[in-house]
Amino acid sequence: MPIDAICLAGIRSELERRLVGMRVDKIQQPERDTLLLSLHGNGAAARLLLCAGTGNARAHVTGAAFENPASPPMFCMLLRKHLTGARLTAVTQPERERVLDLELEGADAMGEPCTRHLIAEMMGRNANLVLTEESGHILDCLRRVDHTMSETHPVLPGLVYRLPPAQDKETVFEVDPADLPARLHGANPEQSLDHWLLDTLAGISPLWCRELAFRAYGDTEVPARTALQRDGGAALERETAALQDLVSRGDFTPCLLLENGEPRDFSFTEIRQYEGFRTCVQTADFSELLDRFYTERDRLARMRQRSQELTRTVRSARDRTARKLELQRQELAATADRETLRENGDIIKANLHAMERGMRVLRAYDFYDPDGGEREIRLDPAKTPQQNAAKYYKDYTKAKNAEKFLTEQIASGSRELDYLNSVLEALGRAEGERDLAEIRQELAETGYLKRQPGGNGKREKRTVRQPMRFRSSAGLEILVGRNNAENDRLTRELAGRQDVWLHTQKIHGSHVVLVCGGETPDEASLREAAMLAAWFSQGRSSGSVPVDYTRVRYVKKPAGARPGMVLYMDYKTLYVTPDPALAEALKAE
């Protein structure tokens, strides 16, 4: 989400508390729209990230690693000239806009004290970073904006910096909540309340317009008419006043919103509207929140990009296998009537004395019909009666052999399809390049990818990695495989025969082993292991997932089966709800 003015108020307060008084040591521009200011002082050090990218404009202290270009851009060089060694004296948010003003005191080229302002505008496509003198004259900016690009807000060296033109509406900071019910009477009665709030108030994001509607009336899309009918807008007045009070007190609780474990949004306090569909995870401060959100989002985007080629390869093989299976099933269905072919041969053979060459149809008594009717059998006039009978017998034998062959092929193809779907599931859960490398290696070993030789022309040696480790609330170790090859190794080599093995029922996912050495595990540990099995599976977005469990000694790998494919017996089933917070809490160091 774009940072709104309320969220920026919390960020400003945090940066002021942490950074004011520190000096700028180093300035870097690792990406076109991103600056990194390394600061030290007050007995600490910090790196301030300022980003003016479309869709990810922000400011926060970061711990993320960035790779710098070989030669710094011109704007970076200018900032180094004017700001290196300067002390940060103030962080302000002019007129509660989506703008941060960093005031820095340093020295000019002659060594005389001077003040500079580094201004971060965080307004979507118009985001920018601007360096000004104390007088307000612009020294330079990340993106130069002339009068042809914007008549109302040009940003060029030499011009006096002006704030972006204000929106023609009150901000959520200054509106009187008691006025909102009266204004609501003038709204389109069919317009949803959240859209009306977005059109009426500045400084508030669409997320929080929906949240106000939900907190007031229990529905994010409640129409203005319904709000007026219920209480004349009193609940909206109450919730808006509560929001203003929260902002005025600075009582912020940064929250990261996760969906299926992936970051989807963030807020300056708890969000209630998703009611379990998204998980709200609190962070220590705004810097941790934004670092986690954007770092994880960018990592997932890079992962998806890197895994696209592998995913295309596997999907192509999966679709090819599925099409082949469908054709084989159709051919198998056609063999179901093979007994009729044998019966036709028998009837022709019994009526050879009444037949002659050149006949096209034989109508004869059907001794296979319980009612004793006639059967009409088509003949090849170019063949003798004996040859026609032989042809039906031959077709019968061919259909009978085809049934056996096709049944075997369909069983093999179904296992192959199941395996390919399991690889796709593992690709969807891959968290890093190492996970992708292991899946590539597995696909090479199963013949879906060409092997990549090492530098000396030899085959690359398989990398061996320990499975993911967790520890139950009772202290029992829980091991989880990341992919098919790792599942194989976990179940067949690492697990003890008396340990408990878990897997989602008829759903692709990780093998999970609860290490208990033959002892009966406590119920809480067993349920936690089952929840991990559900989370690391295709069922992670479901509300209730069946998880089978048994002792490892009852799990067998069929001869010639693909990696990760097993059979098991003597099992029981638990129904659990996947929980990403539990997976994070149980993770072992």
- The proportion of the chain whose per-residue pLDDT surpasses 90, expressed as a percent, equals 64
Residue linked to tokens 């009666």: 385
Q: In which band, very low, low, confident or very high, does the pLDDT at 114 lie, cut at 50, 70 and 90?
A: very high
Kindly list the distances between the CA atom of residue 455 and the CA atoms of 205, 450, 458, 459, 461, in Å, as whole numbers in the listed order.
Answer: 54, 16, 7, 9, 12
Structure tokens at 472: 């139950």
Q: What is the pLDDT of residue 458?
A: 52
* CATH 2.30.310.10 residue ranges for the chain: 5-141
Contacts of 283 (CB under 8 A, 6+ apart): 254, 255, 256, 289, 292
Model confidence at 455: pLDDT above 50: no
Q: What is the pLDDT of residue 277?
A: 84
Give residue-wise pLDDT tens across range 29-55.
Answer: 999 999 999 999 989 999 999 999 988
Instruction: Give the helix/strand (H/E) hosting 504.
Output: strand 500-504
The amino acid at 350: A
Give residue-wise pLDDT tens across range 252-285.
Answer: 999 999 987 789 999 999 999 998 788 899 999 9
Nearest to 331 by CA among 429, 382, 406: 406
Q: Which CATH architecture has domain 5-141?
A: Roll (2.30)
Q: What is the pLDDT of residue 109?
A: 83
Contacts of 287 (CB under 8 A, 6+ apart): 14, 18, 60, 61, 62
Q: What is the DSSP string of 269-319?
A: S---TTTTSSEEEE-SSHHHHHHHHHHHHHHHHHHHHHHHHHHHHHHHHHH
Mean of the per-residue pLDDT values of the chain: 90
**Other CB atoms within 10 Å distance of the CB of residue 33:** 17
Distance CA 139, CA 131 (A): 6
Nearest to 240 by CA among 185, 197, 290, 279: 197
Model confidence at 460: pLDDT above 60: no
Pick from 386-395, 443-452, 543-552: least confident? 443-452
Model confidence at 577: pLDDT above 60: yes
Q: In which band, very low, low, confident or very high, does the pLDDT at 134 lie, cut at 50, 70 and 90?
A: very high
Give residue-wise pLDDT tens across range 346-358.
Answer: 988 999 988 988 8
Give residue-wise pLDDT tens across range 467-511.
Answer: 999 999 999 999 999 999 899 999 999 999 999 999 999 999 999
End-to-end alpha carbon distance in the chain: 32
Distance CA 53, CA 51 (A): 6
pLDDT, mean of residues 562-571: 92
Q: In which band, very low, low, confident or very high, does the pLDDT at 221 lie, cut at 50, 70 and 90?
A: very high
